[in-house]
């Protein structure tokens, strides 16, 4: 039995249905990252759990008990809002102390716990400041402190790193899991950044088009995305996708692509003859200057250095565009592009999706 | 560039001084008049130099209006007190009713909500005299004629819509997330309203209260018709200065100065709430 479970929750605002049928179970002490493009209702889902909104249908259970009938103040859920939502007329100390005051703890106990939390978050020197006197990073930590200080059984974090600068974001990505382990809370972490979801979540739940399309370990979502939309959302640069119609062959599954005939090393199964989309991750596309058997000649249009990797823009004989990545040192060999190069594809890692439904078509067993 | 500098360095202070003179000079003149006798006021040409007298103020405080024709009883201090009671009572009642109502209109969408809010505002559109005649009849039947309660009730027509609509806007500007966060922290809705919503809307509440106090203070026609001398405010009481033997300019001036004082004090006191930029920094913009 999951500690926090969301069961077939539906929520509409007027005529727009935001959440259609959402179910998820989270174990005690587990951290699940909820990932989805903007506007998919991630924030709405957290608000349904915290009790700010009520669902149109479905149930939310914490520790096996339905909390739907309870107000937000009776659920013992900690929540950090994306826009911080600090109390502007109260100093940081009172902001953090608020959940403890609500429980009617003694002044000395409140003082001790607020100080301890603030030290952990490195904001103990600004506790007497009003929110408007805090930097964005300090505001974000104050909001986080307010959620953590009560040591809640369920902690909801609504994209807490969205509004802080890049340096702090990286720091917090490292620090946050360490912090959260101390509280042994069940954590839902909402984010729009797939890297953050993969870095922080023990599992990642992909919310799209009103439901969870896939809930799995981060690596599994990347290597075996359940749907073509998920494959598109995870990965930077995005996955290369081309329509194709595979045909069964003796040595595997043959497709017509880039003006060449390619054979995927997998059993035909029921994919043969179906209109499909083939997905090739940019890192599974190798580029070399010399021709080789099996390598496809392509035109290199542009070379874009991107941090430690280099992104290559390629154009095949049939004019389809391909993105590839390589290390910076390899990328240096290609100069600025505009030349003929040769492409080798790691077809064992290619992904096939049904063109009509977008479903992933796993290799037949 | 140079034009802009010339504009802000020279022209602006000059224009500001002109505007200030235009609005403040009458008040300054009235202030001077309040220390002069009727003869000094009416001499031609008028002069800035005179020996000041406190007779006008003394007459108001003692309640004796000395005219050429004799001495008149003048309940000016009583009128002033009535103004304070009526205006303060009306504003307090409006705050008590209007602030929670404004919050409801700002936060919750309910059936006919907009229509109710607009109806309340429309009270300000109707000419007061149209309402007054039927109201006078009702008040006589109900025994509310010539009572503080009756007048404070009618003053709600002035103060309530004002407070409701100004404060509503301020509540709408507060991010609902701040209230949600307080609820999630474990506080009930009433505590959230009192500890979060009201303090954050305080500049708006202060502005609305001040404005409606001024409107109530300056009201004339409601009190003229629905009240007798025992509850009449200064605006109606000032009619007594127009006597059979002439108009008592000096005492009118003194009365004006005295009746400005409460509003002025209130405005100065409320100012620090008006300028409070409290909602800054609540949420990431």
- SS3 annotation, chain A: CCCEEEEEEEEEECCEEEEEEEEEEECCCCEEEEECCCCCCHHHHHHHHHCCCCCCEEEEEECCEECCCCCHHHCCEEEECCCCCCCCCCCHHHHHHHHHHHCCCCHHHHHHHHHHHHHHCCCHHHCCCCHHHCCHHHHHHHHHHHHHCCCCCEEEEECCCCCCCHHHHHHHHHHHHHHHHHHCCEEEEEECCHHHHHHHCCEEEEEECCEEEEEECHHHHHHCCCEHHHHHHCCCCCCEEEEECCEEECCEEEEEECCEEEEECCCCCCCCCCCEEEEECHHHEEEECCCCCCCEEEEEEEEEEECCEEEEEEECCCCCEEEEEEEHHHHHHHCCCCEEEEEEECHHHCEEEECCCCEECCCCC
Q: Which of B184, B188, B196 sits opposite A87 (nearest CB)?
A: B196
pLDDT at position B276 is 58
Mutation for testing the B interface, residue in A60, A67, A89 having most B CBs under 10 Å: A89
Chain B: closest CA distance from residue A342 (Å): 49
A312-327 average pLDDT score:
86
Among B188, B280, B282, whose Cβ lies nearest the Cβ of A73?
B188
Rg of the Cα atoms in chain B: 24
pLDDT digits (tens, 9 = 90+) for A247-298: 877 777 888 888 788 888 777 666 777 888 888 898 888 888 888 887 888 8
The predicted-structure confidence for B151-169, as pLDDT tens digits, reads as follows: 999 899 889 999 998 999 8
Closest-CA residue of B relative to A49 is B184
How far from B198 is each of A182, B104, B170, CA to CA, in Å?
37, 13, 10
Report which secondary-structure segment, H or E, holds B266: helix B249-274
- What are the pLDDT digits (tens) for A2-31? 888 888 888 888 888 888 888 889 988 888
CB contact (8 A) between residue A131 and residue B177:
no
C-beta atoms of A86 and B282 within 8 A: yes
pLDDT of residue B277: 47
Contacts of A149 in chain B (CB under 8 A): none
A21 CA: distance to closest CA in chain B (Å): 24
Residue pointed to by tokens 């500098």: B5
| Domain spans, chain A | 4-227, 240-354
Residue A237 or residue B93, greater confidence: B93
- Report CA torsion sign: B29, B35, B38, B40: negative
CB pairs under 8 A between A and B: 90
- The tokens for A73 are 């103040």
Residues of chain B contacting A52 with CB distance shorter than 8 Å: 180, 183-184
Angle between helical axes of A107-120 and A136-148 (0-180°, round to 10): 130
Question: What per-residue confidence (pLDDT) applies to B183?
Answer: 92
What's the pLDDT score for residue B104?
Answer: 92
| pLDDT score, position A268 | 66
Set of chain B residues whose Cβ sits within 8 Å of the Cβ of A74: 186
Q: Hey, which CATH number is domain B76-274, 1.10.3720.10, 1.10.10.10, 1.20.272.10, 2.40.50.1020?
A: 1.10.3720.10
Nearest to B185 among A102, A132, A134 (CB): A102
Cβ–Cβ < 8 Å for B159, B216:
yes
B173 — contact with chain A (CB < 8 Å)? no
Share of chain A above pLDDT 90, in %: 13
C-alpha–C-alpha distance, residues A158 and A169, integer Å: 14
Domain A4-227 fold: Rossmann fold (3.40.50)
State the smallest CA–CA distance between residue B115 and chain A in angstroms: 20
Average pLDDT over residues A181-190: 85
The dihedral of CA B252, B258, B259, B261: what is its sign?
positive
Q: Is A67 in contact with A7 (CB distance < 8 Å)?
A: no
Tell me which residue in A74, A85, A132 faces B181 most closely, judged by beta carbons.
A85
ipTM: 0.81
Smallest CA-to-CA distance from A30 within A173, A161, A217 is with: A217
Between B28 and A178, name the one with better pLDDT: B28
A29 token code pair: 């002490």
Across A55-79, average pLDDT: 88
User: For residue B280, what pLDDT is reported?
Assistant: 45
Q: Is B279 helix (H, G, I), strand (E, B) or coil?
A: coil
Distance CA B283, CA B285 (A): 6
Tell me the range of A110-119, A179-188, B123-132, B133-142 where mean pLDDT is highest.
A110-119
For CATH 1.10.3720.10, the residue range(s) in chain B are: 76-274
CATH superfamily of domain region A240-354 = Nucleic acid-binding proteins (2.40.50.140)
Q: What is the pLDDT of residues B93-130, one digit of tens each?
A: 999 999 999 999 998 888 887 888 888 888 777 787 88
Judge whether B184 is closer than 8 Å to chain A, CB to CB: yes
> Looking at residues A325-350, what average pLDDT do you find?
82
What is the pLDDT, as a whole number, of residue B143?
86
What is d(CA B120, CA B123) in angstroms, rounded to the nearest whole number? 6
pLDDT at B278 (0 to 100): 45
Q: CA-to-CA distance for B85 and A314, rounded, in angstroms?
A: 83
Q: Which residues of A touch B (CB under 8 A)?
A: 47, 50-52, 71-79, 81-89, 98-99, 102-103, 130-134, 136, 139, 146, 150, 163
Residue A202 has pLDDT above 50, yes or no: yes
Measured between beta carbons, the chain B residues lying within 8 angstroms of A47 are 180
pLDDT score for A355: 82
Instruction: Show the low-confidence residues of chain B (pLDDT under 70).
Output: 1-4, 67-69, 275-285
Which conformational region is residue A275 in: left (phi greater than 0), alpha (psi within -120 to 50 degrees), or beta? beta
B72 at interface of A, judged by CB pairs closer than 8 A = no
């Amino acid at each position: 039995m999951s500690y926090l479970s969301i069961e077939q929750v539906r929520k509409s605002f007027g005529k727009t249905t935001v959440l259609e049928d959402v179910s998820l179970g989270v174990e005690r002490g587990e951290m699940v990252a909820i990932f989805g493009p903007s506007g998919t209702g991630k924030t709405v889902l957290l608000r349904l759990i915290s009790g700010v909104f009520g669902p149109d249908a479905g149930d939310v259970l914490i520790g096996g008990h339905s909390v739907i009938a309870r107000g937000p103040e009776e659920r013992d859920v900690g929540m950090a809002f994306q826009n911080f939502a600090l109390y502007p007329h109260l100093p940081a100390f009172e902001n953090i102390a608020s959940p403890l005051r609500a429980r009617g703890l003694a002044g000395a106990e409140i003082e001790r716990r607020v100080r301890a939390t603030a030290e952990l978050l490195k904001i103990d020197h600004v506790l007497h400041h009003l929110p408007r006197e805090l930097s964005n990073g300090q505001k974000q930590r104050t909001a986080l402190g307010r959620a953590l200080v009560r040591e809640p059984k369920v902690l909801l974090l609504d994209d807490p790193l969205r509004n802080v600068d890049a340096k702090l974001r990286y720091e917090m990505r490292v620090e946050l899991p360490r912090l959260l382990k101390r509280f042994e809370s069940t954590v839902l972490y909402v984010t729009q950044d797939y890297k953050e979801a993969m870095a922080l979540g023990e599992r990642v739940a992909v919310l799209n088009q009103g439901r969870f399309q896939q809930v799995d370990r981060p690596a599994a979502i990347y290597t075996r995305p359940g749907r073509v939309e998920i494959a598109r959302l995870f990965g930077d640069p995005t996955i290369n996708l081309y329509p194709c119609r595979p045909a069964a062959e003796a040595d595997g599954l043959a497709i017509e692509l880039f003006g060449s005939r390619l054979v995927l090393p997998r059993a035909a199964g029921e994919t043969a003859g179906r209109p499909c989309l083939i997905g090739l991750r940019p890192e599974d596309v190798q580029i070399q200057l010399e021709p080789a058997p099996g390598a496809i000649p392509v035109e290199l249009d542009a070379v874009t250095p991107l941090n430690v990797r280099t992104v290559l823009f390629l154009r095949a004989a049939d004019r389809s565009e391909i993105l590839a990545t390589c290390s910076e040192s390899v990328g240096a060999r290609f100069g600025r592009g505009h030349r003929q190069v040769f492409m080798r594809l790691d077809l064992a890692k290619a992904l096939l999706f049904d063109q009509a439904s977008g479903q992933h078509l796993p290799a037949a067993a | 560039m140079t034009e802009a500098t010339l504009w802000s360095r020279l022209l602006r202070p000059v224009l500001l001084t002109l505007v200030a003179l235009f609005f403040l000079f009458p008040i300054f003149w009235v202030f001077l008049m309040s220390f002069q006798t009727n003869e000094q006021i009416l001499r031609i040409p008028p002069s800035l130099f005179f020996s000041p007298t406190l007779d006008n103020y003394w007459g108001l405080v003692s309640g004796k209006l000395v005219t050429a024709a004799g001495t008149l009883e003048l309940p000016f201090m009583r009128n002033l007190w009535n103004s304070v009671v009526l205006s303060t009572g009306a504003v307090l009642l409006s705050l008590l009713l209007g602030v929670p109502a404004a919050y409801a209109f700002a936060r919750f969408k309910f059936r006919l909500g907009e229509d109710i809010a607009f109806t309340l505002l429309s009270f300000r559109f109707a000419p007061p005299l149209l309402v007054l005649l039927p109201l006078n009849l009702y008040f006589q039947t109900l025994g509310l004629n010539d009572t503080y309660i009756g007048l404070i009730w009618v003053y709600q027509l002035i103060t309530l819509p004002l407070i409701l609509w100004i404060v509503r806007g301020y509540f709408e500007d507060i991010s609902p997330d701040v209230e949600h966060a307080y609820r999630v922290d474990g506080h009930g809705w009433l505590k959230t309203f009192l500890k979060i919503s009201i303090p954050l809307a305080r500049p708006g509440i202060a502005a609305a209260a001040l404005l409606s106090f001024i409107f109530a203070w300056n009201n004339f026609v409601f009190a003229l018709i629905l009240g007798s001398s025992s509850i009449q405010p200064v605006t109606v009481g000032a009619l007594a200065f127009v006597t059979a033997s002439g108009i008592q300019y000096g005492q009118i001036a003194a009365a004006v100065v005295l009746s400005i004082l409460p509003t002025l004090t209130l405005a100065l006191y409320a100012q620090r709430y008006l300028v409070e930029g409290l909602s800054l920094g609540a949420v990431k913009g």
